[in-house]
A and B are shown apart, each in its own frame.
Chain A
Amino acid sequence: METKGVMEKPILQVKEITKTFPGVKALTDVSIDFYPGEVHALLGENGAGKSTLIKIISGVYIPTKGTLIFEQKERAYKNPGEALNLGISVIHQELSIANELSVAENIFIGREPGKGKQRFLLDRRKMERDAQKALSLMGVNFKATDIAGDLSAAQQQMIEIAKVITRNSKLVIMDEPTSSLSDSEIEALFKQIEMLKKNNVAIIYITHRLKELKVVADRITVLRDGIVVKKSLYEDITESEIVASMVGRKISDYYNKQQHIRKEEMLRVEGLTVKGVFEDVSFAAYKGEILGVAGLVGAGRTEVMETIFADKKKASGKVFIKGKEIELKNSREAIANKIGFATEDRRRTGLMLEASVKNNIVLPSLRRKAMKKAFVNPKWEKKVCDEYFGKLDIKTPGRETIIKNLSGGNQQKVILAKWLVAESEILILDEPTRGIDVNAKSEFYNLMNEFVDAGGCIIMVSSELPEILGVADRVIVMREGHLSGELNRAEMSELNIMQLASIQSEAESNTPRQADGASNLQSSKLRGI
């Protein structure tokens, strides 16, 4: 920590940056200084604006307002290439590795050394030599000539770091670098970070795991709703202060929790199994309740929902709807049986992004509302859209607006409208509030409560524990493809859910996680803070 750069000039100054998207203000007057030789942790909940900020720093977005000062000079770069040339590199959570190419080819991708007068021919020898030099410096256990796709995630990440080294980058952004690494791999990564620091590289470090900060962070900045709420040297702040500034509001006000009364059974599954994915899952959901489904990412929750919706074929097990066993052959039959499914990836599997709001809303209901069995009923389309724009307070310029132009919150409401128009009584919501801003979340919870009060049934898969605690009447927890438990409202707590979600895997756990009362820390992975 001897390089704590109070004396040094910042390598990058972000000054009063504001970024607006249609309908959303993602960042407001954000000013942060980043110093060479320091790890600067950028913290905040999902939707706080972290990713928008790093996209601005790395040249993906152009800020609406404000300036970037890199090495004491104002810069207005227009694309990631220009940022890269200045010396700003990003290591994304999803690594950008070309699996079929060798390690050396990956490291030098886009800037391969040439030979001959015109530098037309590839100088493979030089490329592999330089790559190997960087790899040896890092002390890794693979060679420049290995094929990248054969390496582990951790080794692939080392390739990304080798890229940074060979580029002589001055600022490196690491977006959740430890999310797919084991303990020993994380240690190795931290060693590399230490080495980068010694070489006076500035590092912007994004993580959801507050525990790691103790090891790596020199300085922290907390963002909330697009505003900087806390800046500090790490040694001057406690973890609980960090958590408090990240959450920043009383959870009870936010979720508007209502106690629902459990009525008759709507959906029951018994012994549901998809080989190799999940096994023997049995649970029931009732009219008038919100059933939470908790668990770590990869526990099989989404797959169970896909199977209930008949998008995935089950190997064995039974599905009962309103007490009657039904063999659903495909999603069309699921919809006919009044099940609606809002998937976790809104942009990829939830919406026709280039289509109008109207076409998105009416799609599953077209056939049911057809005129003379074959024709679309335009009067009904208009009526039903206007009706739901009002009911759900969907903010859109019009029915024909292309849906990708709406904010995330409004898009999610459109998906809700789509299933309400389809007369769903059982709504499966997979991560319903992912990536939408706080106010929209709160509104969405109210709509969920309304739906349930009117006699609907919601099954909500969520990785955000506060959300489960705030909204669900009951929670079932999954762990590694099995149902590990069920908790009623009185038993629900972050600690109890976390224990059900992860306790067995603790021994082989990849993450530095504690089993004691530090539930805030534990839940950080679940919540995806």
Chain B
Amino acid sequence: MGKAKEWSEKNAVVIVLIVLIIFFGIANSTFLTPANIINITAQMSINAMLTIGITFVIITGGIDISVGSVAAFAGIFSAYIGLKFPKAPLIGILGIQLGSAIFIGTICGAFIGIAIAKFKVVPMIATLAMMTSARGLAYVVTDGQPVYGLPNKFAWLGAGRLITTEKMKNGVIPIITIFLVIILILMHILLSRTIFGRHVYAVGSNEKVSHLSGINVDAVKIKVHILCSIMAALGGVCVTSKLNNGQPAACDTYEMYAIAATVLGGTSLLGGIGSVLRAMFGCAIIAIINNGMNLMQISSYWQKVIMGMIILVAVIIDMAQKKEKK
């Protein structure tokens, strides 16, 4: 009993998740079908990529509200490159997509990181500037128009599925889910097993102590922001791939969902505490609420309201549990 209580205190988010699954499972008969569950994993993948990046940043004690715009800009960029190579093989297309994400992510992240670490700009302001600039660039290069005419192979990453069965002619396992799992494993190892990961936690725990322990705090911050922007850019590229066209207005307010998922996953906004695996619970909660409300045909306007309230309540529960423990 004591152990169960302790577990539930530590894992309030998991309980919220289970409660939501039960609720939607009862409320709607299609919610718990295998096809829908697979759908949810695909739907949460893009938010999950942004969330992984933001988790790193928040663990260092920072914040990044530019991820939605960076994602959109990278998505547009990949679409333009894709248009230039209409006959490229699948592997080439994947190269274009990953390359675009890494290229745009590195540039944007380096800008943010250097502004924060070297010029001591407050993270909220540095990333606010990037948020408007990157979004602006996405509109400038497209002149506000969507980018159409991408080769079909371009959609493989974001919309493709593996293993077709008779029931599911389009395939069972979404490529994007596999892609996410690979990224997740790599990022989890990076955060939990490497020296760099330890330094990320250390900087968030106490910058001064980290500095006096020989850690190059500025370098850690810059690297973390580059990583976060690359993750955001990957998310954006996946969105373009999923839609098979580039939308300058894509990924609007995605930063808010990513921050919410991170916090739901137990990452402290004060820094020093958090995990990318647990952040996935946060992503799952958001994806399930979205999916469940869609199935129940709740209007998308109300969905926003309910989403906000659920996030708030979940975080309050989490905070209350933590406070009790003290």
Contact = CB atoms under 8 A, between A and B. Distances in A.
B208 A355 contact: no
Contacts of A375: 193-195
Contacts of B202: 352, 355, 359, 363
Contacts of B196: 374
B214 A364 contact: yes
Contacts of B273: 354
B218 to A, nearest CB: 11
Contact of A355 (B193, B201, B270): B201
Given A352-B209, A354-B272, A355-B272, A366 B216 contact: no
A354 B59 CA distance: 12
A524 B197 CA distance: 47
A418 to B, nearest CB: 8
B213 interface: yes
A354 B205 contact: yes
Interface SS of chain B: helix
Contacts of A332: 214-216
A376 interface: yes
A341 interface: yes
Interface in B266-280: 268, 270, 272-273
B164 interface: no
A366 B200 CA distance: 13
A374 B202 CA distance: 16
Interface in B281-319: none
B272 A352 contact: yes
A366 B210 CA distance: 12
A363 B213 contact: yes
Interface residues of B, number: 24
B194 A376 contact: yes
Contact of A363 (B210, B216, B270): B210
A426 interface: no
Interface string A309-323: 101000000000000
Interface in A423-438: none
A367 interface: yes
B315 to A, nearest CB: 18
Interface in A221-240: none
Contact of B205 (A330, A349, A355): A355
Interface in B163-213: 193-199, 201-202, 205-206, 208-213
A376 B198 contact: yes
A332 B195 CA distance: 15
A353 B270 CA distance: 12
Interface in A325-357: 330-332, 334-336, 341, 343, 348-355
Nearest to B271: A354
B91 to A, nearest CB: 28
A370 interface: yes
Nearest to B214: A332
Nearest to B189: A375
B195 A353 contact: no
B213 A376 contact: no
B206 A352 contact: yes
B195 A359 contact: no
Nearest to B202: A363
Nearest to A352: B205
Contacts of A359: 198, 201-202, 205
Nearest to A378: B193
Interface in A293-313: 309, 311
A133 to B, nearest CB: 42
Contact of B212 (A331, A353, A366, A374): A331
A374 B194 CA distance: 5
A349 B208 contact: yes
Contacts of B194: 374-376
Given A376-B195, A376-B198, A363 B209 contact: yes
A309 to B, nearest CB: 7
Contacts of A334: 214
B208 A363 contact: no
A348 B213 contact: no
Nearest to A341: B212
Interface of B: 193-199, 201-202, 205-206, 208-216, 268, 270, 272-273
Given A363-B198, A374-B194, 4 more contacts: A330-B216, A331-B212, A354-B272, A367-B214
22 contacts: A330-B214, A331-B214, A332-B214, A335-B213, A335-B214, A348-B206, A349-B208, A349-B209, A351-B206, A352-B206, A352-B210, A352-B272, A354-B268, A354-B272, A355-B201, A359-B205, A363-B213, A366-B195, A366-B198, A367-B214, A374-B195, A376-B198
**What 5 A-B pairs have minimum CB-CB distances, sorted nearest first?**
A352-B205, A332-B214, A364-B213, A335-B214, A363-B213
